[in-house]
Amino acid sequence: MGLALQMEGVTRRYRLGADNYVDALRGVDLSVEAGDMVAIMGPSGSGKSTLMHIAGGLDTPDSGAVWLEGTRIDTLSDRRLTALRSRRIGFVFQGFNLLPALTALENTALAGQYGGMSRRQASRRATELLALLGLGERARHRPSELSGGEQQRVAIARALMNEPCLLMADEPTGNLDSATSAEIMTELERLNREHGMTLMLVTHDPGVAALCRRRVEMHDGSIVGDGGGGRVVSAEADA
C-alpha cells in the first residue's frame, strides 16, 4: 500500500535560555505504512508529541526530512503546508477543542468548509460521519450537552471531514474514564480495520497501545523500541 509517512534524520532543539536548550528529537527515522495503526509511547519529555507535531506539519524540524504520501512537507511554504494539512491530515487532541457555541454538526462541518466544501456538502458529510460514530441523534447538541466520550467522537468526526490519509491523535483518551476510553479506542480501531485509515496515536497508556498493531517507544528524543511494522531506526545524538 506504500508509505503514509516517512521521517529521516529528524532533529528538533528548543532553546530555553541563552545557554539552556533541550533536544526534543535526536536524528529520528520513522516510516509508517498506509493502513497501519501505530502507538507512540514514552515518558513525559521523551519527544513523542514533538514527533507527532512535526509528522503532522504543525512544527518544522531543525534538520532532516518529512514526507507525507511521497510529498516532502518540511520544505513547503506556510500557505502550501496549511492547505495540505487541512486536506490530508486529521488531528484529535486530548482537550477536544470544540467550539462551545456550535452544535456537534456545526463543529464537524466547519472543518469541511475550511477544507473547501460548500456549506451544504460539509453539512451532509458531517451528518454521515456523526452517524458513523454513533452520534446521529446527538448532532444538534452543543458540547456542554455531551459526555466526554461523545465530545471526543465529535472531534474524531471533525478530523475525518476532509478524508485525511493520516489521522493523528495526541493522548485521545487522556481526559476520559476507563470505560469511555475503551469506547473511543474501539471506534478508532474500527476506523482502521474497516476503512483502512492510517492511525498514529501518542499515548502513555499501555492498554491503549496494546490495541495498536505496532508500538514505537521513545526516550530522550530517540526511538528505542519498535514492536513491529515498517522500518524504524533512531540515531543517538553525539554526547
User: Per-domain residue ranges for the chain?
Assistant: 3-234
At residue 25, the pLDDT reads 97
At residue 1, the pLDDT reads 66
At residue 229, the pLDDT reads 41
Q: What per-residue string of b and e applies to 164-194 under the rule 16 or more CB within 10 Å gives b? A: bbbbbbbbbbbbbeeebbbbbbebbeebbee
- All residue ranges of the chain with pLDDT < 50 are 229-239
Q: Residue 74 and residue 144: Cα distance in Å, rounded?
A: 38
At residue 30, the pLDDT reads 96
Q: Residue 27 and residue 4: Cα distance in Å, rounded?
A: 20
At residue 117, the pLDDT reads 93
Considering the four listed CATH numbers 3.40.140.10, 3.30.465.10, 3.40.50.720, 3.40.50.300, the one that applies to the domain covering 3-234 is 3.40.50.300
* 37 contacts 21 by C-beta, under 8 angstroms: no
How far is residue 52 CA from its own chain's centroid? 7
Torsion on CA atoms 132, 136, 139, 141, rounded to nearest 10: -120
**Residues 194-198: contacts with CB under 8 Å, at least 24 apart:** 196/34, 196/35, 197/35, 197/160, 197/164, 197/167, 198/4, 198/5, 198/32, 198/33, 198/34, 198/35, 198/36, 198/37, 198/165, 198/166, 198/167
3-state secondary structure of 89: strand
First-to-last CA distance in the chain? 38
Count of Cβ atoms closer than 10 Å to residue 46 Cβ: 22
Bridge-based pairing of strands 166-170 and 198-202 is parallel
